[in-house]
Amino acid sequence: MSSPWSDLTRPPLRAERLRAALVAPAGPLPRLEVLPSVGSTNAELLRLAAADPDGWPHLSVLTTDSQTQGRGRLGRTWTAPPRSGLAVSVLVRPAELDPPVPPERWSWLSLLTGLAVVGAVRDVAGLPAALKWPNDVLVSDGRGDRKLCGVLAELDPAGRAVVLGMGLNTSTTAEELPVPTATSLVLEGAATTDRDTVLRAVLRSLVAEVERWAAAGGDPVASGLAARVREACSTLGRPVRVSLPDGTGSGAVLAGTAEGLDDAGRLLVRRSDAVLVPVAAGDVVHVR
């Protein structure tokens, strides 16, 4: 069996150093666990938190060096070579905060997570990251949009907690990418591709966003979340095509201009007949 140190360009995450920097009392997290390998960090964190709620408090984190059955939106799956990226999930317990955040405001958590990744990538990697509604982080420049990170927020079966999952490509090569429209930090010439460094930045950024949001009772306006999302979201103001889910895989397609977000974080698309349509879920294509 090969050692995780056999490829020095892709070293394993340094669990003890991460905990020393990020877990209380030195850091903002109550718990951080690093697994050598797991099917899905989201699925595993949901399982662990359900089995031991007290052992996995608000803002607990699970990450891994190798995710073999990554989950995306609409039941999609994806895999990546070991240690070629970050697969991390964060447990948020909005119903147990003081005061609790009402469930109707939890829909912002996916956008909040993407915003946190955008901020971290801009700060430590020096890349022009942007948010694509509802759950992707892109590198956007004169060459177009390239997907760097995907986000998946999942509600626990009891409806009391949300797991925020992120998959971010760090050292993935062009040959290893699942689609030509994806990218990685190394392919973009990032200031750093060190996974420990990027993970620390992402988690600190996410905690800061969650704390601002929670302190305002989840109000996206009072917390400033709505304004920051609009600033970071490259979908707004652009012509888009949105494939709408209908449960059969053959939903309708909505075409128009993405004009804004409503109070629930839904995308507002203006059709050619001037009708403004709110979209809660769908696959968005930026039309050039």
The single-letter DSSP state of residue 10 is S
SS3 54: helix
CATH of region 15-232: 3.30.930.10
Span of 4-13, 142-151, 197-206 with lowest mean pLDDT: 4-13
The domain locations on the chain are: 15-232, 239-286
Whether the pLDDT of residue 137 is over 50: the answer is: yes
Mean pLDDT, range 1-12, rounded to an integer: 73
pLDDT bracket for residue 248 (50, 70, 90): very low
Closest by CA to 163, choosing from 110, 92, 212, 115, is: 92
Reply yes or no on domain 239-286 having CATH 3.10.20.70. Answer: no
pLDDT bracket for residue 72 (50, 70, 90): low
Q: Where are the alpha helices (DSSP H) in the chain?
A: 15-22, 41-51, 109-120, 195-215, 225-232
Conformational region of residue 75, where left means phi above 0, alpha means psi within -120 to 50, and beta covers everything else: left
Mean pLDDT, range 79-96, rounded to an integer: 95
Interhelix angle 109-120/195-215, nearest 10 degrees: 140
Q: What is the pLDDT of residue 71?
A: 61
User: Could you report the per-residue pLDDT of 11-27, keeping only the tens digit for each?
Assistant: 999 999 999 999 999 99
Q: What is the pLDDT of residue 75?
A: 55
Whether the pLDDT of residue 147 is over 90: the answer is: yes
pLDDT bracket for residue 78 (50, 70, 90): low
Q: What is the pLDDT of residue 9?
A: 82
User: Could you report the per-residue pLDDT of 110-130, keeping only the tens digit for each?
Assistant: 999 999 999 999 999 999 999
Whether the pLDDT of residue 159 is over 70: the answer is: yes
Q: From CA 189, how far away is CA 166, in angstroms rounded?
A: 21
Q: Is the Cα torsion angle 120, 188, 282, 162 positive or negative in sign?
A: negative
Q: What is the pLDDT of residue 5?
A: 62
Q: How far is CA 20 from the centre of its chain?
A: 24
pLDDT bracket for residue 203 (50, 70, 90): very high
Q: What is the pLDDT of residue 76?
A: 60
pTM assigned to the model: 0.94
pLDDT bracket for residue 69 (50, 70, 90): confident
Whether the pLDDT of residue 257 is over 70: the answer is: yes
